[in-house]
Structure formats: C-alpha cells, structure tokens
Amino acid sequence: MNCEIVQEEFSSFIDNELSVEGKNKMSAHLETCSQCETLFKNLKETLHVMHSLPSLKTSDDFVAKLLTTAHSNQNKRSSFSFLNNDIFKYSGYGIAAGLVLALGFTQLMVPKIERPNITAHNKIHSEVPLVAEMSDSLENTLNDTALNNQLSTQSSQELLLVNQK
Amino acid sequence: MREFTDEQLIAKFQSGDELAFIELVNRYKDRLINFVYGFVKNYSDAEDIVQDTFLKVYKNKHAYREIAKFSTWLYTIAGNLARSQLRKIKRRKTFTMSQLSYDDNEFDPKDMSRSHTEVLDDSYVAQEIRKAIQELSEPFKTIVILRDIQELSYEDMSKILEIPIGTVKSRVNRARLKLQSLLKHLKE
Ligand SMILES: [Zn+2]
C-alpha cells in the first residue's frame, strides 16, 4: 500500500468504515511509515478538538421573537390580501396601498426581497426548495459555477414553481 | 409533542398546529446556529439567518412533502440563506478593501476573525481550528461543518448534499486533510 492510498482512507478508518482487512492493512502501514503515522495522529487530535468545540446557543428570546415576526408577517399579508379598510387608518400605509394598486398584490404576497433584480418567486424557490426538486441544494456550494447557473436557470425554475402552485 | 418525529410534527403544522412548529424550532435552533455560524462567523448574522430559516418554514410550510427528511429540507434552506449572506459579506468586503488599506481593514468592526472570541470561550487550538475552517474553500467548509461540527452521518450528508455516500466519504477525507495542512503550524 502506498502512502497516497493510505491517506485517502484515513477518514474511513477514523469513522470506522473500513473492512477488517482494510483496518489491518492500515494499521500495518502506520506501524512502518512514520510520515503517515504523524499525519494520522495529528488529524485525529484535530478531529477530537473539533468534536468538543463549545457550541453556540440561540438567545433566550429566540422563539418569542420568531413567533412575533411570523405572526406580524401573517397579519400584514392578510390585510393586504383582503385590502381591508383598516390599513388606510394608518397614515404610513397610504403609500403602501398605492403600491398595492401599482404592482398588483401578488408582488406583495411574497416575502421581502433581499437580493435586488431577483423576483420573489425565485427567492422562494432558491431558498425554500420544493422537496420534489431539491436539486438546488447545498450541493451547489460544492460548485462555484453552480451559483451562476442558478441565476441563469431561474426563469425556468419560476415556471416550475408556478406550475406547482 | 416530544414523542413525534420531525415529519409528524411538520404534518401537524401543515394542518394548522402551531405548537408542532414550536417543537421543531426548539429541536433545531441550536443545531442550526452552529451550522450557520460555521459559514458567516458572526453570531448576530447567524442568529438572523436561523430566524429567517424558520420564518421561511413558517410561511412556506406546504412546500415540504414527506418524500424527504424534514432535517434535510431545513438544512438546505439554512444553507441557501447562509450562502446568500456570504455573497453579501464578500461584496461588502470587496467594497471596503478598495477604500481602505489592508491595515485599516483589519480594524474593521466587521472583521470576522475576532467576533467568535467574544461569543465562545475557545482554547487557542480551538480558535486556530475555527480560523482554518474559514480558510477552506466553500465546498470543503460545508463538508467539514456538516461532518465534524454538526456530526451528521455520511448517510444524512449524502441526502442533504445530494451526492452518493462514496463521494461524501472521499470529500470528507480530502476536506479533513486540507484542514490538517492548514494547521501545520500548530505542530511546529
Ligand atoms: Zn505512508
């Protein structure tokens, strides 16, 4: 077994994914090759520290804050969708009401747009994948060009999403 | 609520049970903040992203179908949000880099290498490891965070990343070796 092949199997060895034969070969190599042995030992130490890194917790009011926002979004959406007169009681909403007419309210039914130039439909699609087509998933992070592909395929994705609605 | 699986809870939430949603939030909020923090490395950004993730679940609960695990769906949403936040941070960085000298930039309050020490009581080695994770390319970073910070199984990673288990295994190994090579100085 050469060193390169041995090192390719380090993680499988550490995670106990090797066959008995594989384990024996690995152990035998580590006993005779000090370079691999050192690397293996260091890797194991690093992983040990990583597995015991102190972990973060969300703040105490996380759930309360979340529910408040969720409910207020919901109320906002329902008042826009019914276009009820209540919203005109709030002076600041006069402009919003004008926007409702100008944009058509489908635009306002969707969440706040953070990225410019990307329609809200696309945003929902790219960040909340429909389970049936999660190809736009974290896997994209494994491929830088996938980000650009994502942008260029968005109009077709939008069609897909509309069809599924 | 505790006896229900994630998938049973989201089904209950889809039919209007908000307590089921709260239980899901409680199950995943801390796991997700650690996951997202691994990318954005800023506590308040990470917490905002986790908030947004659950808000999206709340608003788009019917986008979930039971053919995938709930956790897979949730991690995918959080990962996508973290990615778009990262792009924003990168843009912001490019902007400031062009305006400030390198040294000035080091004192930028947004400098992310400092922020975690305020939040976490890390040992020196742990800090160096966190820094090295940040230096990994995004694909390797994702792999390392999922496997060694989140401690997900190869099988769950395969579902979240939509790649075969064999590919997950080889990427885990390459990512770890890369990380180890960035930590050489600890051993010298
Ligand atoms: Zn060797």
Q: Which residues lie at CB < 5 A from ion ligand 1? A: A 3, 33, 36
Confidence of residue A79 (pLDDT cuts 50, 70, 90): low
B131: Cβ–Cβ under 8 A, 6 or more apart, which residues?
Answer: B113
| Total domains in the fold of chain A | 3
Straight-line distance from the first to the last Cα atom of chain B, in angstroms, rounded to the nearest whole number: 52
User: Which helix (H) or strand (E) is B8 found in, with range?
Assistant: helix B6-14
My answer on whether A39 and A17 are in the same domain is yes
Centroid of ligand 1 to alpha carbon of A3 (angstroms): 4
The confidence band for A75, taking pLDDT boundaries of 50, 70 and 90, is confident
Reported pTM: 0.62
The residues spanned by each domain of chain B are 1-98, 108-188
Instruction: Extract the tokens encoding A100.
Output: 């409702």
Residue A77: alpha-carbon gap to chain centroid: 25
Q: Which two tokens stand for residue B179?
A: 């990380």
| Model confidence band, residue A78 (pLDDT cutoffs 50, 70, 90) | low
CB atoms inside a 10 Å sphere around CB B32: 28
Handedness of CA B139, B145, B147, B153 (dihedral sign): negative
Count helices and strands in chain B by DSSP H and E runs: 10, 0
**How far is residue B88's CA from residue A29's CA, in Å, rounded to a whole number?**
47
Residue A62 has pLDDT above 90, yes or no: yes
Assembly ipTM: 0.74
Contact A43, B186 (CB under 8 A): no
Domain of residue A28, residue span? 3-51
Percentage of chain B exceeding pLDDT 70: 83
Least confident of A20-24, A105-109, B15-19, B83-87: A105-109
**Residue A56: inside a domain:** no
A111 vs B82, more confident: B82
CB A97 within 8 Å of CB A87: yes
Q: Which residue has the higher pLDDT, B109 or B175?
A: B175
- Residue B20 or A96, more confident: B20
A35 CA distance to ligand 1 centroid (A)? 6
Tell me the mean pLDDT in the region B106-132.
60
CB atoms within 10 A of CB B45: 21
CB contact under 8 A, B163 and A139: yes
Residue B128: pLDDT above 60?
yes
Measured between CA atoms, how close is B93 to chain A, in angstroms? 17
Cα A36 to ligand 1 centre (Å)? 4
CATH 3.40.50.300 fits B1-98, yes or no: no
Q: How is residue A111 annotated by DSSP?
A: P
Q: What is the pLDDT of residues A4-59, one digit of tens each?
A: 999 999 999 999 999 999 999 999 999 999 999 999 999 999 999 998 888 889 99
Residue A114 lies in a domain: no
A96 pLDDT band, cuts 50/70/90, is very low
- Dist. CA A146 → ligand 1 center (Å): 36
Is position A133 within any domain? yes
Q: Evaluate whether the domain defined by B108-188 bears CATH number 1.10.10.10.
A: yes
In a domain, A31, yes or no: yes
Q: Judge whether A24 lies within some domain.
A: yes
**Measured between CB atoms, which of A55, A59, A126 is closest to B34?**
A55
Decide if pLDDT at B36 tops 50: yes
pLDDT at B178: 97
Chain B interface includes A15 (CB < 8 A): yes
Write out the two tokens for B77: 């949403």
Q: Identify the pLDDT of residue B127.
A: 87
pLDDT for A54 equals 81
- Residue B94's pLDDT band, with cuts at 50, 70 and 90, is low
Burial of B125 (0-12, 13-18, 19+ CB in 10 A): middle
Question: Domain for residue A10, yes or no?
Answer: yes
Contacts of B55 (CB under 8 A, 6+ apart): A66, A69, A70, A73, A111
pLDDT of A100 above 90: no
pLDDT digit string (tens) for B65-90? 888 889 989 999 999 999 888 888 77
Q: Flag if B160 and A66 touch (Cβ within 8 Å).
A: no
> What gap in Å lies between CA B40 and CA B88, rounded to an integer?
10
* Averaged pLDDT for residues B111-117: 40
